[in-house]
Amino acid sequence: EDQVTQSPEALRLQEGESSSLNCSYTVSGLRGLFWYRQDPGKGPEFLFTLYSAGEEKEKERLKATLTKKESFLHITAPKPEDSATYLCAVQEGPGGTSYGKLTFGQGTILTVHP
Amino acid sequence: KAGVTQTPRYLIKTRGQQVTLSCSPISGHRSVSWYQQTPGQGLQFLFEYFSETQRNKGNFPGRFSGRQFSNSRSEMNVSTLELGDSALYLCASSLKAGGPGNIQYFGAGTRLSVL
């Protein structure tokens, strides 16, 4: 069964203080790893998809990286508006029993103080 | 381009009742997935529909069911509601079921409270 573990559960940063969020996963044949951002009372907003180990993607202050066992979401010089819950999810490849569905981690609640 | 639309946004029901939630996917998207989000369990997969057929199902009791129409719109039904069904129900649409590059885009969700 696919498993996704995110750490830390909560992270408090000062504005401008860079840090990283971790997503460890176990899946039978990774089809893709996804990062989403969720604000209170809203649905998850898509950020990145990573497909193979060594791949990196960037968007503004965010950079996502992928290895064979985990992914990191690096936040450089965060601002208060980056405060949100960040969710990691994996999608199993063909041949698996859960092909197509997303298996989510519990999320990391990020708070950036001005 | 309009995003995923879920209606209603909020619902209050009592135990034993049934409820139907609606989801309109992004135009051109043919796959719709449903998830339940609770503080304790996080986001859990309910089921996925593609071309009016259920392609995948999560570990939920038979009280949870869904369907998809020819225009790709989807409905989810929960019968005999229990207190534990209180949650945010999220719908996500994607171009196709599974496959590389298949990104799921989420709606704002329906907040269901069971009293």
pLDDT at B101 over 70: no
Supply φ then ψ for residue B85, to 5 degrees: -85, -5
pLDDT at A95 over 90: no
C-beta atoms of B43 and A46 within 8 A: no
Supply φ then ψ for residue B58, to 5 degrees: -85, -175
C-beta atoms of B109 and A43 within 8 A: yes
Structure tokens at A111: 């708070």
Closest CA to A85 of A6, A27, A2: A6
Closest CA to A53 of A63, A64, A65, A67: A67
C-beta atoms of A101 and B58 within 8 A: yes
- Which of B43, B54, B90, B111 to mutate: most A Cβ within 10 Å? B43
Residue of A nearest to B50 (CA): A100
A55-77 pLDDT, tens digit per residue, is 999 999 999 999 999 999 999 99
C-beta atoms of B98 and A107 within 8 A: no
Output the pLDDT for position A100. Answer: 67
Output the pLDDT for position A86. Answer: 98
Q: What is the mean pLDDT of residues A44-65?
A: 96
Express as a percent the part of chain A with pLDDT over 90: 82
User: How far, in Å, are B18, B38, B82, B84, B86 from residue B115 at the CA level?
Assistant: 12, 16, 8, 10, 9
C-beta atoms of B42 and A42 within 8 A: no
In this prediction, residue A30 has a pLDDT band, given cuts at 50, 70 and 90, of confident
B11-68 pLDDT, tens digit per residue, is 999 999 999 999 999 999 999 999 999 999 999 999 999 999 998 899 999 999 999 9
Name chain A contacts of B10, Cβ cutoff 8 Å. Answer: none
| DSSP code at position B104 | -
Name chain B contacts of A102, Cβ cutoff 8 Å. Answer: 33, 35, 43, 45, 92, 104
Q: Which of residues 50-69 of A touch B (CB under 8 A)?
A: 51
Closest CA to A66 of A113, A31, A114: A31
Q: Of the candidates B6, B56, B101, which has its C-beta nearest A100's C-beta?
A: B56
